Amino acid sequence: MTQDPIKKSLLFVDDEQNVLQGLRRMLRSERNEWDMEFVGSGDEALAIMKERPFDIIVSDIRMPGMDGVQLLNKVKGLYPSTVRFILSGHADKGMIIRSVGPTHQFLSKPCDSETLKSAVSRAVKLRELFQGEKIIGLVKDTSLPTLPELYQRLYEVLNSPDSSMGDVAEIVSSDVAMTARILQLVNSAFFGIVRHIENITQAVTLLGLETISSIVLTEGVFDKFEEKDVREFKIRELYHHSVVVGAYSARIIKKKLDDHKIAEEAMLAGMTHDMGKLAMVNSKNEAWREVYRRHKSEHIPLYQVEQETLGITHAELGAYLLGLWGLSDNIVEATAFHHEPSRCINQSFGILTAVHLADVFQHRSTPADKGSGMSEPDSEYVTRLGLDDQVQELEELCKDEDD
Amino acid sequence: MRILVADDDNISRKILEAVLAKSGYEVISKKDGQEAFEALKGADSPRIAILDWFMPEMLGIEVCRKVREIESRTPPYIILLTSKDGKQDIVTGLDAGADDYMTKPFEREELKARIKVGERVVKMQQALFKQVQELKESREEAIKALADLKQEVKTREGVENELRESEEKYRNILENIEEGYYEVDLAGNFTFVNNSTCKRLGYPKKELIGMNNRNYMDQETAKSVYQTFNKVYTTGVSSKGFEYEFIRKDGARTTIELSVSLIRDSKGKPVGFRGVSRDISERRKMELELIQARKLESVGQLAAGIAHEINTPTQFVGDNITFLKEATEDIFALQEKQGLLLEAAKTGSVTNEIINAVESALEEADVEYLKEEIPKAVDQSLDGVARVSKIVRAMKEFSHPGANNMTVADINEAIETTITVARNEWKYVAEMKTHFDANLPEVPCLVSEFNQVILNLVINAAHAIKDVVGESGNEMGTITISTARNENWAEVRVGDTGTGIPKQNRDKVFDPFFTTKEVGKGTGQGLAMAYNVIVDKHHGTLSLETEEGTGTTFIIRLPLVADNDGQKK
């Protein structure tokens, strides 16, 4: 079979022939966009993937022989750039949690055609937008490191009989990796939560301590950061930067839009905007480390060195992963364009604006980053939005509240 | 006896000495008052003293006074000698403590006589003292005896108290235990009951004492009670575990478990019965609730699987309907174009434009594909809907709280239901083969409990097979369930191609809490419960054939004719 280079290739795996046939018929209307294969077992899936690459794999969990989690784990290792979805009718929480590691998104049966199509389309779009294939080709392992002390504290709090949801939420929301993963889970269809959740306390409450506990303990979800790997990379500085940018972003939104909900989402966007750096440093990619060293020694903004040398940036990687995990477009957009918001299609005031300014404000107050190009806002963007007069006021507002 | 003589006048003293010595007395002579006092002061002093009034150092009267001051158990008998015979002197002498007096010169005979008096007084005094002494001793003895007695009394009081306390304790226990305690005479009249017995039967104690057993049970029960008690009477062997239905004062019925043993008098003659009763109505109720709870629990365990069984067909039915909707739209669009073509053909005005439109609609609709796929989509959807309704119906039947009494049931259907409900538990490891005897008559049974047994056996079979083929092996085992009539029995066989049961475990499989599954996977209750349901409740048999490495078959046999006794006991 010859492959149409423009068509996206999808692989569906399910042991139930009726499900495969139903999907085939239902998705027939997409046949001009998508090149689809339907196979009945993990072994068949691996066999066909050996012949040609697939952009997306959608697998059932419970299957005789190799189950879906085992399959996705193998796919993750062999073909890391393939986007991995679960489509399962199983109501067993334990199995879903087991699958968190290798899975980008969970869809639960019965899944209506619109949900399935839009989830797949979004993944396809993300891959195009952020050069997903290239990114993953470079990074491969995209697991995230957590701060060992935060992980330890969370572990202790979860094991303490008198800890509250509030305690857990507090720890999770000060950790970039945990924040992103918890949001991924809470927004997965499996947990049956219809609204989109962009608030950690709410997410922790909805998932429950038991589920959070299982996720934390599940292998392959969080890595502990190895500091010795890249000496120049200070993970604690990044965490500090993220928390501050989160807080600033929320303040800017509150001031300008006076909307509590958007402010909360902005806080999360600020938290996760540099998540790509974490994935990069954790991937043990030597080329990126070299890039990072150059950025440090020559005082050139990291994204510029990345763009120049690798052709992709940590912002794109972060945006791509957050997008695949089902986080909101606002967060994905803010993460992707936080260096150069003028490149974004959306040119109105919003979370991206807040995160961009917050990022600049934080860099300005960090002596090492002064004059590195990261401490100046995107002037074209600021002017277009008519914010020239307000930047200073907003910066004061952000920093005043620190006292 | 020794006598002290004190006189400063040598002649007078010599005379006294001589006279007294002649009379057989031992004489101690002193020349002055001081010496005399010294002699009288000691412990072993003479018992009689004759003191001259006038003496140097100390007057006789003075010696007398001073001797009297000394506390002594045996004071000397003192005779004062005086030459004066003035009355006043005599009074002064006696006042000073003298016992007697004589005037000088004295006559020998008088002296002897007066000494004799003194001797008598001294002796009397000694005797008196001895008596007093004896009296004292006996009094002390008496006091000691009294004290002993008091102690004895006290001890006895203690023992009595303990006895009383212990009796009270046992009475309290007896009165307050949940179990009823009773004693009846040989005629069956209550002679003693505790509070629980009263509460159980709903009568006050005073009404119950003397009441005959026939007053609180129906005739049939009374007959059976008589038989039981009579047997205890004739054999002397105690009995327990009898269940009787008693009628309370308010008319309500209560099921009571009874024990009975014989009371004999001191000569060994039977005089009545005693025993303990226990209300088992509550236990009965709890047993029922437990069965229901177990059933709900297994439904709960099955819930995740059942959800999967429903979600899967719902998925493809939805997909097919989406497809049918789109297909219908395409067909209608095509049909519209074809309608235009038809119109044009009628009027002979067919244009290339119309033909092209029809052709492109034909291509759009892909009619060949639709012709092939639409019937399949419809069939599969119907199949999916049937699957959902089947499992929903099976769930409803399975979890239905069954009647407590035996009803006749089609056990083929019951087994089919259970297989459906448990499908998700076995379908990944085994194929299910069923051989149902279509001619099997309906079997009297407790359907929902029977379903539970089959469920346990099927899940066990699946687990045994999983141990052989592995969770994610590509092979499948086989579970075979068959039914057949075997004379007056309905026989159900549930076989698996699993691990088989090792020899050392074969006797233990029906024991409660015996399990070889890892913690959290099995409670060891499944087969024990199955045994209870089949053997105890249905009076059937449950056995097994097993071979290690080949598999295990459980064989249930249920009697086709209901045992009249089957619902009780």
Residue range A3-13: average pLDDT?
80
> pLDDT tens across A43-87, in order?
999 999 999 999 999 999 888 778 898 999 999 889 988 999 999
Least Cα separation, residue A107 to chain B (angstroms): 11
> pLDDT tens across A13-53, in order?
999 999 999 999 999 888 888 999 999 999 999 999 999 99
Residue B207, Cβ density class (10 Å: 0-12 exposed, 13-18 middle, ≥19 buried): middle
Taking phi over 0 as left and psi of -120 to 50 as alpha, with beta for the rest, B475 belongs to beta
Contact criterion met (CB < 8 Å) for B311 and A29: no
- Model pLDDT, residue B58: 82
Does residue A1 carry a pLDDT above 50? no
Nearest to B474 by CA among B416, B428, B516: B428
Does residue A260 carry a pLDDT above 80? yes
- pLDDT band, residue A403 (cuts 50/70/90): low
Nearest to B399 by CA among B556, B272, B292, B253: B292
Contact criterion met (CB < 8 Å) for B315 and A26: no
Contact criterion met (CB < 8 Å) for B312 and A19: yes
Nearest to A252 by CA among A377, A379, A168, A342: A377
**According to DSSP H, which parts of A130-259 are helical?**
132-139, 148-159, 165-172, 176-186, 200-207, 209-217, 235-257
Least Cα separation, residue B294 to chain A (angstroms): 21
Report CA-CA distances (Å) from B499 to B429, B454, B456, B552. 13, 19, 17, 8
- Facing residue for A26 by CB, picked from B312, B323, B384: B323
d(CA B398, CA B301): 13
A70 in contact with B, Cβ within 8 Å: yes
CB of B412 closer than 8 Å to CB of B379? no
CB of B421 closer than 8 Å to CB of B309? no
The distance from CA B29 to its chain's CA centroid, rounded to whole angstroms, is: 96
Using a CB-CB distance cutoff of 8 angstroms, which residues of chain A are in contact with residue B308?
Answer: 62, 89-91
d(CA A126, CA A324): 7
Domains present along chain A, CATH in parentheses:
8-139 (3.40.50.2300), 225-400 (1.10.3210.10)
Retrieve residue A311's tokens.
Answer: 């052709």
- What count of other Cβ atoms lies within 10 Å of the Cβ of residue B341? 18
Most B CBs within 10 Å, among A12, A18, A88, to test the B interface: A18
- Model pLDDT, residue A14: 94
Using a CB-CB distance cutoff of 8 angstroms, which residues of chain B are in contact with residue A29?
Answer: 326
Retrieve residue B437's tokens.
Answer: 């005897």
Report CA-CA distances (Å) from B246 to B238, B281, B283. 21, 11, 16
- Model pLDDT, residue B567: 42
Question: Which residues lie closer than 8 Å to B48 by C-beta, 6 or more apart?
Answer: B1, B2, B3, B4, B76, B77, B78, B79, B115, B118, B119, B122
CB of A374 closer than 8 Å to CB of A314? no
Q: What angle do CA B302, B304, B306 make, to 5 degrees?
A: 65
d(CA B374, CA B523): 49
Retrieve residue A118's tokens.
Answer: 């839009």
Retrieve residue A235's tokens.
Answer: 């993970």
- Model pLDDT, residue A191: 63
Amino acid symbol at B16: L
Does residue A352 carry a pLDDT above 70? yes
Contact criterion met (CB < 8 Å) for B428 and A64: yes
- Model pLDDT, residue B522: 57
CB of A269 closer than 8 Å to CB of A337? no
- Model pLDDT, residue A381: 92
A46 in contact with B, Cβ within 8 Å: no
d(CA A51, CA A32): 21
d(CA A206, CA B402): 38
- Model pLDDT, residue B32: 85
> pLDDT tens across A160-172, in order?
878 788 888 888 8
Closest-CA residue of chain B to A90: B308
Phi first, then psi: give them for residue B366, nearest 5 degrees.
55, 60
- Model pLDDT, residue B568: 37
Retrieve residue A97's tokens.
Answer: 């949690």
Per-residue pLDDT of chain B (569 residues; tens, 9 = 90+): 888 888 888 888 888 888 888 888 888 888 888 888 888 887 778 888 888 888 887 888 888 888 888 877 778 888 888 776 666 777 888 888 888 888 877 788 888 888 888 888 888 888 888 888 889 999 999 999 989 988 888 888 888 888 888 888 888 888 888 888 899 998 889 998 988 888 888 899 888 888 988 888 888 888 888 888 888 888 888 888 778 888 888 888 888 888 899 998 888 889 999 988 887 777 767 766 766 666 666 666 677 778 888 889 999 999 999 999 999 998 998 899 899 899 988 998 888 888 898 888 888 888 888 999 999 999 999 999 998 998 888 888 876 666 667 888 899 999 998 999 888 888 888 999 999 999 899 998 888 889 888 988 998 899 889 888 876 556 789 999 999 998 889 999 999 998 888 888 877 777 766 667 665 555 566 787 888 888 888 889 999 898 888 899 999 999 987 554 444 33
Using a CB-CB distance cutoff of 8 angstroms, which residues of chain B are in contact with residue A94?
Answer: none
Least Cα separation, residue B377 to chain A (angstroms): 7
Least Cα separation, residue B495 to chain A (angstroms): 21
Does residue A2 carry a pLDDT above 50? no
Tally of helices (H runs) and strands (E runs) in chain A:
21, 7
Contacts 24+ apart (CB under 8 A), B208-216: B212/B187, B212/B188, B213/B184, B213/B188, B213/B189, B214/B188, B216/B246, B216/B247, B216/B248, B216/B249
d(CA B96, CA B90): 10
A26 in contact with B, Cβ within 8 Å: yes
Nearest to A143 by CA among A283, A348, A33: A283
Contact criterion met (CB < 8 Å) for B308 and A111: no
Tally of helices (H runs) and strands (E runs) in chain B:
15, 17
Residue at token pair 């009773």:
B182
> pLDDT tens across B202-248, in order?
899 888 888 988 888 888 888 888 888 888 888 888 888 778 888 88
Contact criterion met (CB < 8 Å) for A112 and B318: yes
Q: Are strands B2-6 and B26-30 parallel, antiparallel or unpaired?
A: parallel
- Model pLDDT, residue B496: 93
Contact criterion met (CB < 8 Å) for B311 and A89: yes
> pLDDT tens across B378-411, in order?
999 999 999 899 888 888 887 666 666 788 889 9
Retrieve residue B357's tokens.
Answer: 């439109």
- Residue pairs spanning A and B at CB distance below 8 A: 91
Least Cα separation, residue B417 to chain A (angstroms): 21
Question: Which residues lie closer than 8 Å to A385 by C-beta, 6 or more apart?
Answer: A347, A348, A349, A353
CB of A95 closer than 8 Å to CB of A68? no
d(CA A141, CA A293): 21
- Mutual angle of helices A113-129 and B281-347, in 10-degree steps: 80
- Model pLDDT, residue A52: 92
Residue range A175-195: average pLDDT?
76
Q: What angle do CA B486, B489, B494 make, to 5 degrees?
A: 80
Taking phi over 0 as left and psi of -120 to 50 as alpha, with beta for the rest, B244 belongs to beta
Most B CBs within 10 Å, among A13, A26, A93, A98, to test the B interface: A26
Contact criterion met (CB < 8 Å) for A19 and B472: no
- Model pLDDT, residue B565: 45
Using a CB-CB distance cutoff of 8 angstroms, which residues of chain A are in contact with residue B429?
Answer: 64
d(CA A76, CA A84): 8
Residue A181, Cβ density class (10 Å: 0-12 exposed, 13-18 middle, ≥19 buried): buried
Least Cα separation, residue A64 to chain B (angstroms): 5
A154 in contact with B, Cβ within 8 Å: no
Using a CB-CB distance cutoff of 8 angstroms, which residues of chain B are in contact with residue A62?
Answer: 308, 428
- Model pLDDT, residue B397: 80
- Model pLDDT, residue A12: 96
Does residue A115 carry a pLDDT above 60? yes
d(CA B478, CA B559): 28
d(CA B381, CA B33): 153
**According to DSSP H, which parts of A41-112 are helical?**
42-51, 68-78, 93-98
Average pLDDT, chain A: 85
Contacts 24+ apart (CB under 8 A), B500-504: B500/B464, B500/B546, B500/B547, B500/B548, B500/B549, B500/B550, B500/B551, B500/B552, B501/B544, B501/B546, B501/B548, B501/B552, B502/B548, B503/B548
Most B CBs within 10 Å, among A38, A109, A116, to test the B interface: A109
- Facing residue for A90 by CB, picked from B308, B317, B380: B308
Least Cα separation, residue A116 to chain B (angstroms): 11
What count of Cα atoms within 13 Å lies in the side-chain half-sphere of residue B512?
2
CB of B36 closer than 8 Å to CB of B67? no
CB of A39 closer than 8 Å to CB of A57? no
Instruction: Tell which wins on pLDDT, A45 or A289.
Output: A45
Least Cα separation, residue B351 to chain A (angstroms): 30
Q: Are strands B77-82 and B100-103 parallel, antiparallel or unpaired?
A: parallel
d(CA A290, CA B499): 58
- What count of other Cβ atoms lies within 10 Å of the Cβ of residue A306? 25
A21 in contact with B, Cβ within 8 Å: yes
Report CA-CA distances (Å) from B522 to A292, B518, B536. 55, 7, 23
B104-137 per-residue burial string, b: 16 or more CB within 10 A, e: under 16? eebeeeebbebbeebbeebeebeeeeeeeeeeee
CB of B27 closer than 8 Å to CB of B49? no
Three-state DSSP state, A180? helix
Using a CB-CB distance cutoff of 8 angstroms, which residues of chain A are in contact with residue B311?
Answer: 89-91, 108-110
